[in-house]
Homo-oligomer: A and B are copies of this chain.
Amino acid sequence: MSVGKERSADFVVNAAGRRVPVVVNGRSAVPFAGVGASIPHGPKHGPPIRSTADYPADGDKRSPNLREALERCGLRDGMTISTHHHLRNGDQVAVAALEAAAELGVKDLMWLPSASFPCHEPVVDLMRSGVVHHIEGSMNGPLGAYCSRGHMRGLGVLRSHGGRWQAIQDGEVHIDIAVIAAPTADAFGNADGSHGPSACGSLGFALADSIYADHVIVVTDHLVPFPCIPWQIQGNNVDFVVEVDSIGDPKKIVSGTTVVTKSPDRLLIAEYVARFVRDAGIMKDGFSFQAGAGGIALAFVGYIRQMMIDAGVKARFVRGGSSSYLVDLLNEGLTDYILDGQTFDLAGVRSIGEDPRHVATSPFTSYNYHGKGNFASMVDAVVLGATEVDVGFNANVVTHSDGMLLHGIGGWQNCLFAGCTILALPSFRDRIPVIVDEVTTLTGPGELVDVIVTERGIAVNPGRADLLAALEGSDLPIRPIEEIKAEVERLVGGPPAKPALGDEPVAVIQWVDGTVLDTVWRVPEATDSA
């Protein structure tokens, strides 16, 4: 285990009562001050001004391979390389880029993925060999375990999708070289995700990188003559284009089809959520909702769809991650638009590529807290998950109750700003209660969580008297959260054991405004849950 000197930094207790470091990876960090309490100052990051005189007049920016492109971008020790995760567990570009950097002999890189997947496990070796210093971005599976055990030389920094945009835009994190895997691109660097053999839908997670990085490399397995239309990534921000045989494994990039849960408990949860949205008066003409591609969320879409048909109600827009279930709503005329941040299955990819009502969004439009508003707060209802919630409605999505860092934040924090935020959860998993006294890692402040729906009942945040009033007389099982918690504890034999965590931080959880919301602590080897 190698713990860098940044671990010895001082700590303060932030507004959420969490002990957080005041220095993170050498940068001073601002402790969370409350929702909406930190008002930013100063200008957005200005990337270097370039001159077309330094780029080929015919627009042909092809470079023979990633290694040469990285070299021509001036790659050197200590730089930050960013990648996106739209290819999910099929991605072959991020590891190829970091391994090309290793071949060039550089050390101490910071890797800034928009998320990482099990396919990125080779980065563990690159961290061991010193090529990669640390990761800022979600770490799950083997990367999460490596970080949780305290093996990473820097602190992990977990940001939401909107928080990643905010950090890049505000200059808190500086990208030296962005490497953008592109399912379609032209030699000028215009790129898109909606077509090509490795089509993944939107490329929105790479947009900030393309705009703010010093250097940008587009990697594609489907080069088309200029212009690549549409161009979610604009070639005017791109330095080099590298053609490769394959950017990823299409089978792992998108699901062939997304699948609704078959668990009776989870179906019940989904039905409760839909009935809640209907009975609370949220489901009305012109309303909007967001639901992801998890089993409960997909089942919710099925229930709400039928309720919309029965009531003759049409949504103005639904927010993806998109799947065939949202595409069906669009094709059936039950929504005017899909505003889509990422595309989960083939039906979604086809739709975003062909239907102008299925619109690619980006973390800027949807989630960036340091813009002039964003879409997230305009969504009437959002259905999310969590690994833990506590009786103050605070929620955790990044660690398990044993403290292991196993999930990223995704857009979860950003979505909490919806009109009605609903966490849809089984009340226990593997006999471990999900409702606890205090979450292991605070990812979302309870004041933004409105409703917790379990198979044993629905808890409404006491701060939302309006929702409680709207539901008066409903036959939904509305119950105090403490009551549901007690029932589950009786069932499984008591509250979960507190994890025995070390006193060394391994990662921090940033809030949407760039402040530090909580710390992830080292998990000693003996308590391994894996």
User: Interface on A for B, CB 8 Å cutoff?
Assistant: 36-59, 61, 169-171, 188-189, 216, 225-227, 229-231, 234-239, 286, 316-317, 337, 339, 356-357, 359, 364-365, 368-375, 377-378, 417, 513
Contacts and interface: CB of A to CB of B under 8 A. Distances in A.
Given A49-B169, A53-B36, A59-B377, A225 B372 contact: no
A188 B372 CA distance: 9
Given A316-B226, A417-B57, A373 B235 contact: yes
A373 B40 contact: no
A180 to B, nearest CB: 13
Contacts of A51: 36, 38-40, 369-370, 513
A373 B44 contact: no
A176 B513 CA distance: 25
Given A46-B46, A55-B372, A57-B377, 5 more contacts: A43-B49, A57-B378, A57-B417, A234-B365, A238-B372
Contacts of A513: 51
Nearest to A48: B43
A54 B36 CA distance: 9
18 contacts: A38-B51, A39-B54, A40-B49, A42-B46, A50-B372, A52-B373, A57-B377, A58-B378, A59-B377, A188-B378, A216-B372, A225-B316, A234-B365, A235-B365, A236-B373, A237-B371, A239-B372, A356-B356
B49 A229 contact: no
A442 B239 CA distance: 32
B225 A170 contact: no
A368 B36 contact: no
**Among the interface residues A53, A57, A373, A374, which one has the most CB atoms of the partner chain B within 10 A?**
A373
A18 to B, nearest CB: 21
A258 B370 CA distance: 44
Given A50-B370, A51-B36, A57-B417, A229 B42 contact: no
Which 6 A-B pairs have CB atoms at the shortest separation, nearest pair first? A43-B46, A36-B53, A55-B373, A44-B46, A236-B371, A40-B49
B227 A359 contact: yes
Nearest to A41: B49
Contacts of A53: 36-37, 39, 369
A129 B231 CA distance: 46
Contacts of A39: 51, 53-54
Contacts of A42: 46, 48-49
A237 B372 CA distance: 6
A503 to B, nearest CB: 34
A373 B47 CA distance: 15
Contacts of A45: 43, 46
A337 B227 contact: yes
A173 to B, nearest CB: 14
A230 B238 CA distance: 24
B236 A372 contact: yes
A380 to B, nearest CB: 10
A229 B378 contact: no
B364 A236 contact: yes
Nearest to A190: B365
A369 B57 CA distance: 11
Contacts of A368: 52, 236
Contacts of A377: 52, 57-59
A388 B42 CA distance: 47
A229 B337 contact: yes
A41 to B, nearest CB: 7
A79 to B, nearest CB: 18
A62 to B, nearest CB: 13
Contacts of A235: 365, 372-373
Nearest to A215: B372
A359 B229 contact: yes
Contacts of A370: 49-52
Nearest to A38: B51
A202 to B, nearest CB: 15
A365 to B, nearest CB: 6
Contacts of A54: 39
